[in-house]
Amino acid sequence: MNKMGSMLSMLLLAGGLSAGAADELRGGLVLQFDDGWHSWLTEVAPLVQEHGGVATGFVNNKYIDGGRISIDELLRLQEDYGWEIGSHTANHYNAPRYVQTKSVDDWLANELDPSLKVLRDGGLEVNAMVFPFNALTPEVAEAAMTRVGSYRRIDSLALAKGVRPDGSLPGTSIDTTQYAPMKLIKKWIDMAHKRDLNLFLYGHRILPDSAFTEGTVLAVSSNTVTLDQPVRLDAAEDNVLIPNMAKRQNMQNTFSVSSAEGNRITVSGLLPGAVEVGASALVGPSYGTRLSDFNEMLAYAAERLHFYTVNDIQTLRHKEDVALEISNRSE
Ligand SMILES: [Zn+2]
């Protein structure tokens, strides 16, 4: 073992990593949450930490002003849980629409800069941003890149080594609104592990299984679906129907649910044949992830991937882990 090798081994030991663990983990999971919720601190961060993980929270300042999360809570996420906090702009406006009526400079001055200032003045180390609704133009993205190290540009298969030439990182939703089936998420995790790539997933909140109804479809008409059990709907949420849970292969075919009465829900834009009678369907809030699904994903990922924050990727900190693994193998 050369001097460098022994130093790296000491670093490995100091970090509490056994050589075996470092060999098994390859590739990364970059978990992200948008908007800003108190439950990030009370529920999500402790859960992610149980699996040795970290995440990045992109907060929009309106949610701080509205009391959904505080600067103090964001600081605790950063200090106690190793989370990174990024900006999701001041007012959560759609940026392409904003710059159509105003200008890119106005957007910087009124939407990005004030958000960054409040967060940074509060003691948060903000190095990345995410556009509201992931909506952007090349011009506004370029402007954002004068302030931060990356932004998100959504991709249905969100694997990347690092920040792409246009400054973007990919991202795929784990919200119910698109409901990526667990089989598919596990396939992505395996791909990231096999190819030593980073997988970028984002959601909003983790919700208890009791917020959802999973039942068997008894009947379908032009705009109603009847399940074998009563459907609980939170009227304050946007709700969604995910048909054919067992056969679900991709992120297509989710339908907006407008109301529920007993076992029957009213669904908009129902496509003929999309909801099969006799198959199981899930009904619940669209901007959330079901707790049992999230737990299953975390457990599967924790055995295969490192967890990284967005800034870890921006600063290519993951390269150091790769260097450690290579050095360890060569000893
Ligand atoms: Zn948002």
pLDDT (tens digit, 9 = 90+) per residue, 138-165?
999 999 999 999 999 998 899 999 999 9
* Ranges of the chain whose pLDDT falls below 70: 1-23, 317-331
Report how far ligand 1's centroid is from the alpha carbon of 27 (Å). 27
Backbone angles phi, psi at 214, to 5 degrees: -115, 120
Q: Is the pTM of this model over 0.85?
A: yes
Residue 31 three-state SS: strand
Ligand 1 centroid distance, CA of 34 (Å): 5
Instruction: Give the pLDDT confidence score for residue 23 in this predicted structure.
Output: 59
Question: Rounded distance, CA 215 to CA 228, Å?
Answer: 6
What residues sit around ligand 1, an ion, with C-beta below 5 angstroms?
A: 34-35, 132
Neighbours of 276 (CB within 10 A): 14
Q: In the prediction, which pLDDT does 14 show?
A: 45
- Rounded Cα distance, 45 and 76, in Å: 10
pLDDT given at position 319 = 55
What's the CA gap between 101 and 99, in Å, rounded?
A: 5
Task: Please give the sequence-ordered ranges of beta strands (E in DSSP) within 3-73, or none if there are none.
Answer: 28-35, 56-59
**Identity of the amino acid at 252:** Q
Q: Rounded CA gap, 328 and 330, in Å?
A: 6
* 279 CA → ligand 1 middle, Å: 32
Instruction: Sketch out the chain's domains with CATH numbers.
Output: 3-205+290-330 (3.20.20.370), 209-286 (2.40.30)
Cβ atoms < 10 Å from Cβ of 264: 17
Are the C-beta atoms of residues 203 and 58 closer than 8 Å to each other?
Answer: no
pLDDT value of position 256: 95
Q: Scan for tokens 């060999």, then name that residue.
A: 23
Q: Residue 28 has what pLDDT?
A: 97
Ligand 1 centre to CA of 323 (Å) is 36
